[in-house]
């Protein structure tokens, strides 16, 4: 379709709509490239939500009257603000996942017109510089504000499911016989009503019914879970590999091993590499178990299997399991589809959306996943019931999205563990917030307000700590005093007594006296600033003065 005909078609709709935006000129202050990038993200996502194939920004049209007025905008001349790189190339790099768009420049009625035509989002929300947008009515909005719309964008078209694609040329000979036998055993346990029938099915029938294959054809899922090691080439340029890496406390690599297909067998082999030692802890006056495994076995398996189900195999990277002293770190490539871990916990329902839905269904049928999407919350509850720190998720966005999960194999803060023991009624959402307090992570204002209302914390943001009532209940009074700090009157008296005793004190002497008494959560700069304020206050009160770099008492 010619650009002129495309414009006629768009104008015939009679008005703007969620997937069509009209502009004349850009009146912003030097942010044109970001402005266009955000709109391309929003239009691609809006087009998908409204079942349209394309989204459009049209420059040179009045948005109310639809009059053809022309534009000064020249997209191919826009280079200076992004160096020597063209605007088009810069936008291509900034959109993730990759989304095709075209720029049309032409004349209508001697007026210059520009149309940006972008394909709809297909496999995931389209993000610009790690943030996804959407058009709601006639306004561009952050997609995270509309979780239902975002969830809809993750409802993948089966035709776009990478894991369901057929591997041309592959046959049953490319699958591992031991992996198929293991899959049969797991399938019968998962589906006892078919237990008698399964024995009579040949391999092709079984693989079709267990959703590894489609009409007897080998899928990418079948290669990942059941394929012989040498069959991985059918996935090229994608790869299916897992790595176990052992590191010491200084992050130096000690040992490693790589695992390819079949993941159904090799996930267990990787699991066996992890040294799940016994961990002993005996806080006085509690009912804690004296000895436990460092890691819950179900949590380890669930973490690894989630990596397998959610990995973006097209990015040609490995699933990594890094074992360090008293912690495990799992990572897989790809966006975290639900948006945030808090959203998963809050929703309290199985997640309906998987990047690799066909793969996930097969994993359910061979009991690698209990029920699709229920695992994350169960991991948090399992750690809570062990009085261990919560699973720590780090979600990396941008051009190389990645999900990293840390599982701690020891109690980080005894006070936190005692809170859980003494307050079994604390729900999982509150436990997650308390876990952030023990890790000294920054909380949102509303989260801090919630914990204050529950009388679980004290202090000023970001320097918050366990509240006095909880400290008393858990026997942490000394830690509470140390965290809260003493009042200024006490610190001032210490300074005055020190100056009086020695006839004068240098700043380094006063620092040595006071810094060690300040709360632990103060960083070094904060501690020194506190001493500055104490000295200034004493000077203003005419208690002390400075002479030849020594602080002295006024007579």
Mind listing the pLDDT tens digit for each residue in 404-441? Answer: 999 998 877 666 766 676 677 788 888 888 888 877 78
Distance CA 227, CA 232 (A): 7
Residue 155: the pLDDT is 60
Mean pLDDT across the stretch 214-233? 96
pLDDT at 364 over 80: yes
Better-predicted residue by pLDDT, 509 or 28: 509
DSSP letters, 10-47, are HHTT-S-BTTEEEES---SSS-HHHHHHHHHHHHHHHH
**Burial (0-12, 13-18, 19+ Cβ within 10 Å), 131:** middle
Distance CA 417, CA 198 (A): 47
DSSP 8-state class, residue 251: S
Mean pLDDT across the stretch 228-256? 94
Quote the distance between the C-alpha of residue 330 and its chain's center: 12
Mean pLDDT across the stretch 222-243? 95
Residue 502: the pLDDT is 86
Better-predicted residue by pLDDT, 100 or 481: 100
Mind listing the pLDDT tens digit for each residue in 57-82? Answer: 999 998 888 899 999 988 887 764 55
Residue 474: the pLDDT is 47
Half-sphere exposure of 85 (CA within 13 A, CB side): 11
For the chain, what is the mean pLDDT? 84
Mind listing the pLDDT tens digit for each residue in 454-499? Answer: 777 777 777 776 564 554 544 454 454 455 545 678 788 889 988 9
Query: pLDDT-derived band of residue 315, with 50, 70 and 90 as boundaries?
Result: confident
Domains, the chain, in order of start with CATH, read 3-150 (3.30.950), 154-410 (3.30.565.60), 414-484 (no CATH), 488-553 (1.10.10)
CB count, 10 Å around CB of 49? Answer: 21
DSSP 8-state class, residue 230: G
Better-predicted residue by pLDDT, 431 or 112: 112
Q: What percent of the chain has pLDDT over 90?
A: 39
Q: Which residues make Cβ contacts (< 8 Å) with residue 130, sequence separation at least 6? A: 96, 397, 398, 401
pLDDT at 394 over 60: yes
**In the structure, how many helices (H) and strands (E) does the chain have?**
21, 23
Half-sphere exposure of 540 (CA within 13 A, CB side): 7
Distances (CA, A) of 333 to 240, 261, 309, 402, 405: 12, 18, 11, 4, 12
């Amino acid at each position: 379709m010619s650009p002129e005909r495309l414009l006629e078609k768009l104008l015939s709709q009679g008005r703007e709509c969620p997937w069509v935006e009209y502009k004349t000129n850009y009146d912003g202050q030097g942010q044109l490239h970001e402005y266009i990038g955000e709109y391309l993200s929003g239009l691609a996502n809006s087009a998908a939500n409204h079942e349209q194939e394309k989204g459009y920004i049209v420059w040179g049209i009045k948005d109310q009257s639809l009059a053809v007025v022309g534009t000064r905008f020249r997209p191919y001349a826009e280079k200076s603000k992004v160096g020597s790189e063209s605007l088009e190339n810069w936008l291509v790099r900034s959109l993730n996942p990759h989304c095709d768009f075209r720029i049309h420049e032409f004349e209508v009625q001697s007026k210059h017109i520009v149309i940006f035509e972008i394909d709809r989002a297909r496999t995931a929300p389209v993000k610009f510089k790690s943030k996804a947008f959407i058009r709601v009515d006639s306004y561009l909005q952050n997609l995270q504000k509309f979780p239902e719309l975002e969830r809809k964008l993750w409802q993948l078209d089966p035709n776009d499911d990478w894991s369901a694609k057929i591997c041309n040329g592959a046959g049953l000979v490319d699958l591992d016989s031991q992996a198929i036998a293991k899959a049969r055993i797991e399938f019968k346990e998962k589906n006892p009503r078919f237990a008698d029938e399964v024995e009579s099915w040949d391999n092709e029938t079984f693989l079709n019914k267990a959703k590894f294959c489609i009409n007897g054809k080998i899928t990418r899922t079948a290669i990942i879970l059941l394929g012989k090691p040498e069959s991985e080439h059918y996935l090229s340029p994608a790869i299916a590999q897992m790595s176990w890496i052992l590191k010491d406390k200084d992050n130096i690599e000690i040992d490693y091993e790589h695992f390819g297909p079949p993941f159904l067998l090799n996930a267990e082999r990787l699991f066996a590499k992890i040294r799940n030692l016994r961990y002993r802890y005996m806080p006085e006056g509690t009912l804690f178990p004296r000895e436990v495994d460092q890691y819950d076995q179900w949590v380890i398996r669930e973490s690894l299997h989630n990596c397998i189900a959610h990995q973006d195999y097209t990015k040609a990277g490995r699933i990594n399991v890094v074992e360090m002293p008293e912690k495990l770190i799992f990572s897989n490539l790809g966006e975290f589809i639900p948006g945030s871990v808090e959203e998963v916990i809050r929703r309290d329902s199985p997640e309906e959306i998987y990047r690799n839905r066909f793969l996930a269904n097969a994993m359910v049928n061979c009991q690698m996943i209990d029920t699709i999407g229920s695992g994350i919350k169960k991991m948090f509850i399992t750690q809570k019931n062990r009085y261990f720190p919560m699973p720590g998720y780090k979600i990396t966005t941008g051009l190389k999205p990645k999900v990293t999960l840390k599982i701690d194999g020891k109690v980080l803060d005894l006070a936190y563990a005692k809170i859980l023991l003494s307050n079994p009624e604390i729900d999982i959402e509150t436990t997650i917030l308390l876990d952030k307090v023990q890790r000294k992570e920054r909380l949102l204002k509303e989260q801090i307000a919630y914990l204050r209302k529950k009388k679980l914390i004290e202090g000023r943001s970001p320097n918050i700590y366990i509240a006095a009532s909880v400290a008393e209940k858990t026997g942490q009074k000394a830690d509470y005093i140390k965290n809260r700090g003493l009042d200024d009157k006490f610190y001032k008296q210490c300074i005055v007594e020190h100056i009086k005793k020695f006839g004068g004190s240098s700043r380094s002497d006063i620092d040595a006296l006071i810094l060690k008494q300040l709360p632990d959560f103060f960083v070094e700069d904060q501690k020194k600033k506190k001493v500055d304020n104490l000295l200034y206050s004493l000077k203003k009160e005419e208690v002390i003065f400075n002479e030849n770099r020594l602080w002295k008492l006024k007579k």
